[in-house]
C-alpha cells in the first residue's frame, strides 16, 4: 500500500505542477518570459514556443525584448503574439521585437483574480478526485479482506494528511499570484 501512497503523491504533485504552469501564463503588470511560453510560432514545419526560437529578455521589469535566432521568423513571431490573448502589440525594428507590458486596470485585475480562483478550484477538485479514487481502492481492498479495518483507518488518515498538504500548497500559490496581480 506504500506504493499506492507514493503514486498518489506523484499524481497530486503533477496536478500542482499543472496549476503552477497555468498561473505562470496569467499576465501581471510585470514582464516575464513565461508570458510567451504558451504562444506557439509556425517554424520549420512545426509549432514551437517563442522561447525556443528566440532569446527573450526582461528589460526594466516592464518590457520584453525578443531576438529571434533566425531573422526570417520575426514576422511569424509578431503574428503569433498579435493572435494570442496577451492583448499587447509588439514593435519591431527588423531585428528584435519589443513588448511593453502596460499596467493593469483595476477591472482587469479583478478579472484575473477570478481566473486564479477558478484555476485554484479546478486544481483542488483534481486533488480531491485523486483522494477519492485511492480511498475507493482501499475500501475495495478492505472489503476483499486484503487489509484490516485498522490498516484502512491508518491509510485513510495518511491519505487525508497528503491531501491537506497539497490543498495548502494550492492555496499558497493562489494567494501569491493574487497578491502579485493586485500589487502595482
Domains delineated in the chain: 1-26+105-182 (1.10.132.20), 33-100 (3.30.1360.40)
pLDDT band at 184 (very low <50, low <70, confident <90, very high): low
Strand partners, 104: none
CA distance 91 to 105: 22
For 85-125, write each residue's pLDDT tens digit: 777 888 888 889 998 887 778 888 888 899 999 999 999 99
For 123-165, write each residue's pLDDT tens digit: 999 999 999 999 999 999 999 999 999 999 999 999 999 999 9
Burial track 84-96 (b if 16+ CB lie within 10 A, e otherwise): eebeeebeeeeeb
Contact status, residue 12 vs residue 134, Cβ threshold 8 Å: no
- Tallying the residues shown for the chain, one arrives at 184
In this prediction, residue 37 carries a pLDDT of 78
CA distance 156 to 171: 22
Amino acid at each position: 500500500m506504500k506504493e499506492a501512497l507514493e503514486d498518489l503523491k506523484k499524481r497530486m504533485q503533477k496536478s500542482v505542477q499543472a496549476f503552477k504552469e497555468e498561473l505562470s501564463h496569467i499576465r501581471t503588470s510585470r514582464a516575464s518570459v513565461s508570458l510567451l511560453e504558451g504562444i506557439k510560432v509556425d517554424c520549420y514545419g512545426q509549432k514551437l514556443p517563442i522561447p525556443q526560437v528566440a532569446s527573450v529578455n526582461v528589460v526594466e521589469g516592464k518590457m520584453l525584448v525578443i531576438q529571434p535566432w533566425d531573422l526570417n521568423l520575426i514576422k511569424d513571431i509578431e503574428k503569433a503574439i498579435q493572435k494570442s490573448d496577451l492583448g499587447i502589440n509588439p514593435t519591431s525594428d527588423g531585428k528584435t521585437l519589443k513588448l511593453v507590458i502596460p499596467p493593469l486596470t483595476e477591472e482587469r485585475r479583478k478579472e484575473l483574480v477570478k481566473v486564479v480562483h477558478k484555476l485554484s478550484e479546478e486544481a483542488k477538485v483534481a486533488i480531491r478526485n485523486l483522494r477519492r479514487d485511492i480511498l475507493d481502492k482501499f475500501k475495495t481492498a478492505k472489503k476483499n479482506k486484503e487489509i484490516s479495518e485498522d490498516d484502512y483507518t491508518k491509510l485513510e488518515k495518511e491519505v487525508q494528511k497528503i491531501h491537506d498538504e497539497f490543498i495548502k500548497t494550492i492555496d499558497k500559490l493562489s494567494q501569491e499570484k493574487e497578491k502579485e496581480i493586485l500589487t502595482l
